[in-house]
Structure 1
Amino acid sequence: MPRTIVRFLESETSSTAQWGVQFGSRIAPLPLHANTTGELLAHHWDALWSIDESHATLSLAAMRLLAPVTQNQQFICQGINYRSHVAESGLRVEDFPFNTLFTKASSCITAADAPVARPAHVRLLDYEIELGLVLRRDVPSHTTVQPDDLKHWLAGVTIVNDLSARDVQLPQGQFYKGKSYRGFGPVGPRLTLLTVDEWKRWPELRMQLSVNGQLRQDAYCAEMIHQPAATLTELSGLQDLRAGDLIATGTPAGCAARAPGKAVMFVMRHFMSDATKWRLFMRKSAGNPAYLQPGDCIHASIRTDDSVIDLGVQTTAIVAP
């Protein structure tokens, strides 16, 4: 069975985060010290699995849950990694044989139920539900990771919402800036550690995101183009990877941002300057009610259909700055 790890405060006035294992509606606090997700996974792996339900003395409902990935960890992202999202973006899969990689500022990581303030200058705030992979250990340079090796390198999975200011990201070509404002990375509510057999089921995980009760995104992780083992292999040849680092693996169709029709796309590409193209994009997008507004509430979940692997539910309220 999966093991559910939570990071929490015992009260609103507490300043010391604790780690625990969730058993149903109760938490078994872990008698250990780990300031970061990396420290927890690198130095206390056996303790995470050895504690049992008899130690679950705390009520989950009475605790304030924090993001299970701490803000010191790298926040690495994959873009256009789902076929349906490629199509709704007006692109073709065959034109993107490469893995699109970028980063978000780790300071944007926030709790799964924390309200997110839409910056005053942002009008096109979008959502992206994503499966988050959390590294179990450091990955040496130029490591080849096979699909059957995931349990060795990855600790578990969590829910990520890659909130994005499209009016910054797209016209300015600023992925990092448009996706890194504080609060733009809800993570959690928990980190779900998987066994060897459960790692084989990651393609069965179903991602669902709704806004104000309206289902917007609904897809299985099997649709992923560049899959975890290949991505870990490529990243290890590019940069250092450390225990506790987070990789967000891309989003499926259903985002607020949509490409115009093929005829319009042809005209924009061949007969318009970039300035004109983006001016028209902003004008048309301003009337799109799917973009997030203060007062909106997002619900995001990831689980297998039999609920054997269940990453919980994020509930994110969008508020005014």
Structure 2
Amino acid sequence: MPCTLLRYTDNHTAHWGVQFGTSIAPLCDGDLSTGQMLTDYWDQIWSLKPSQASVPLERVRLLAPVTTNQQFICQGVNYRSHVKESGLNLSNFPFNTLFTKASSCITAADAPVVRPRHVQLLDYEIELGIVLRRDLPSGTTVNANNLGEWLAGVTIVNDLSARDVQLPQGQFYKGKSYRGFGPVGPKLVLLTREEWARWPELHMRLSVNGQRRQDGYCREMIHAPAATLTELASMHDVNAGDLIATGTPAGCAARAPGPLAMFVLRYLVSEATKWRLFINKGLSNPAYLRPGDRLSLTIRTDDGAIDLGEQTTRIEAA
């Protein structure tokens, strides 16, 4: 069965431990990186027993289970439903769209997120985060059968995005990397090799102020984890503890205009006018996040056998 790895703080000291019910079995003190934990303590993590759970969960504050010195790699337009709502043609995107977020944007699952003063169109994206178990050597080929050899576990990621920066400026990194724009956790759920076969069954749900906005299954991914890892291994170094956010389903605040409006914007107005109209239209869209909004994100199999917990984020004004 899955093993739930937590990173937490107690009296201002960072710890790692394994959750058993409402208690934690401590692993070690010190602020070890996610990669160090998975590399040096892998066998200990799995050997802990419920009888060793001595720390009440209610007495600690959970931290993001991915530390900020790890790579934060993302996949874009990786769900057909999101491609459609973005006004894009899937045939124009036969490739895996990869980009990065600054790891400094990683924050705890329940930490408040400050919307920068100049950002008016703040959007949400629930994503399945997959975390590397070990370094991925150049030229590695990963398939569905050996996925568990290379991946440690799964976690919830919210790829918060300033659409009025990302889209008009054409800068994914800049629009998605402000501090706090990467809530991760609350748990890193480690899976056995057999359980990795169930990743397509993971059900993602995101609500804002109690209203369901996103609801989809991971099986809708266009480029699955094994193919993505294989491609990454052909490009650059990917290491133990690194995080890959695998894309989002439909339901984001940003939506493409209708066909007629798209034609006008594409062929009959200047770039500056197009983006000015986009921002002005977005200001009247109540789906964009505003100070005071509260988000709830969950990812789990429908039978509850694999449950990544719940993210609870509050948006605050700068």
Q: TM-score, normalised by structure 1?
A: 0.98
Instruction: Tell me if the contact between 1:34 and 1:40 (Cα under 8 Å) persists in the aligned partners.
Output: no
Partner letter of residue 26 of structure 2?
Answer: P
Instruction: State the distance in 2 between where 1:33 and 1:286 align.
Output: 45
Instruction: State the distance in 2 between where 1:171 and 1:224 align.
Output: 27
Q: What is residue 102 of structure 2 aligned with on the other side? A: 105
1:235 and 2:216 correspond: no
1:79 and 2:76 correspond: yes
Partner letter of residue 270 of structure 1?
Answer: Y
1:142-184 CA distance string (max 9 Å, x none): 2111111110000000000000000000000010010000000
Q: Give secondary structure in 1 for the equivalent of 2:146.
A: helix
Give 1:304's match in structure 2, choosing from 296, 301, 309. Answer: 301
Partner letter of residue 3 of structure 2?
Answer: R
Q: Give 1:109-124 correspondences, 5 Å limit.
A: 109-124=106-121
Q: What is residue 2 of structure 1 aligned with on the other side? A: 2
Partner letter of residue 273 of structure 2?
Answer: T
1:127 and 2:124 correspond: yes
Instruction: State the distance in 2 between where 1:129 and 1:56 align.
Output: 31
Instruction: State the distance in 1 between where 2:96 and 2:263 align.
Output: 25
Instruction: State the distance in 1 between where 2:224 and 2:30 align.
Output: 33
1:95 and 2:92 correspond: yes
Q: After TM superposition, where is structure 1 displaced by more than 6 Å over at least 4 residues in a row?
A: none
1:52-81 CA distance string (max 9 Å, x none): 000111111111000000000000000000
Instruction: State the distance in 2 between where 1:235 and 1:167 align.
Output: 29
Q: Give secondary structure in 2 for the equivalent of 1:201.
A: helix
Instruction: State the distance in 1 between where 2:246 and 2:120 align.
Output: 25
User: 1:196 Cα shift?
Assistant: 1.2
Instruction: State the distance in 1 between where 2:19 and 2:312 align.
Output: 18
What is the alpha-carbon root mean square deviation over aligned residues?
0.9
User: 1:185 Cα shift?
Assistant: 0.2
Instruction: State the distance in 1 between where 2:267 and 2:149 align.
Output: 49
1:266 and 2:292 correspond: no
Q: Give secondary structure in 2 for the equivalent of 1:30.
A: strand
User: 1:234 Cα shift?
Assistant: 0.4
User: 1:31 Cα shift?
Assistant: 3.7
Partner letter of residue 2 of structure 2?
Answer: P
Give 1:25's match in structure 2, choosing from 2, 15, 22. Answer: 22
User: 1:94 Cα shift?
Assistant: 1.2
Q: What is residue 152 of structure 2 aligned with on the other side? A: 155
Q: Give secondary structure in 1 for the equivalent of 2:272.
A: helix
Instruction: State the distance in 1 between where 2:124 and 2:29 align.
Output: 35
Q: What is residue 165 of structure 1 aligned with on the other side? A: 162
Give 1:175's match in structure 2, choosing from 167, 172, 177. Answer: 172
Q: What is residue 249 of structure 2 aligned with on the other side? A: 252
Q: Give secondary structure in 2 for the equivalent of 1:263.
A: helix
Give unmatched runs, 5+ long, in structure 2: none
Give 2:46's match in structure 1, choosing from 35, 49, 58. Answer: 49
1:268-296 CA distance string (max 9 Å, x none): 11222211111110111110000000000
1:229-267 CA distance string (max 9 Å, x none): 000000111110000000000000000000000111112
